[in-house]
Structures are given as C-alpha cells and as structure tokens.
Amino acid sequence: MENFGVCIAYYFRITFSAFGSCSEYDISIDTEEPQQILSFVPDAKSKSYNATDASEREVVSFTLGKGRADWGPLTVYALTRSGDIYALCPYMPKNA
C-alpha cells in the first residue's frame, strides 16, 4: 500500500495511505517510525449488504483545518473517491 499526501508542519509529518490509515511522524525524533497511526475511514460493516465498490472508500486527498480560537486547527479532513468527507477532531500530534 502506497502512502501519499505529505503535510509537514513545524516538526511533524502526516501521511495517508489510500485506505485511510493516517500516520504521524515526529521528524525531530524518528523519520522512519510513526509516533501514532490512526484509522481515519471507518471499516465497512461486514454483516450488512453493501453494493458500493471498495475503491470508493479510498482516501484521495486530505487537509488540516484552519481557524483561530475554534476547532479548525485541531481537525483533519479526508476526501474519498466517492466524494465522502471525513473529519477527525480533535487531532493533536502525540508529542504536542
């Protein structure tokens, strides 16, 4: 599985895999081993009928939120191939 979309802010780097795994690296400590790995896109329910293609759940882009004195800077947004948008909030780097 190939990682894409690198976002570097201050001392940490965030990468996403196509299937929603968000990895955070503290580049001041270790550039190879992630500090934390988050499952961003929820798993499909196995006991229900689902007619959608699994590729529609692929994460194709992501961004960090913006704002002041609100939840914006603590939010990570991801866009899937099917157009669904997922938000993870609050997101804090592990060593913040």
Phi, psi for residue 15 in degrees, rounded to 5: -125, 155
> How many distinct structural domains can be found in the chain?
1
CATH code, domain carrying 73: 2.40.10
Residue 59 to residue 50: CA distance in whole angstroms: 18
pLDDT value, residue 44: 64
- Per-residue model confidence (pLDDT) at position 35: 92
pLDDT lower than 70: segments of the chain: 1-10, 42-52, 54
HSE of 57 in the Cβ direction (CA atoms, 13 Å)?
A: 15
pTM exceeds cut of 0.75: no
Task: Supply φ then ψ for residue 27, to 5 degrees.
Answer: -70, -10
Per-residue pLDDT at 82: 85
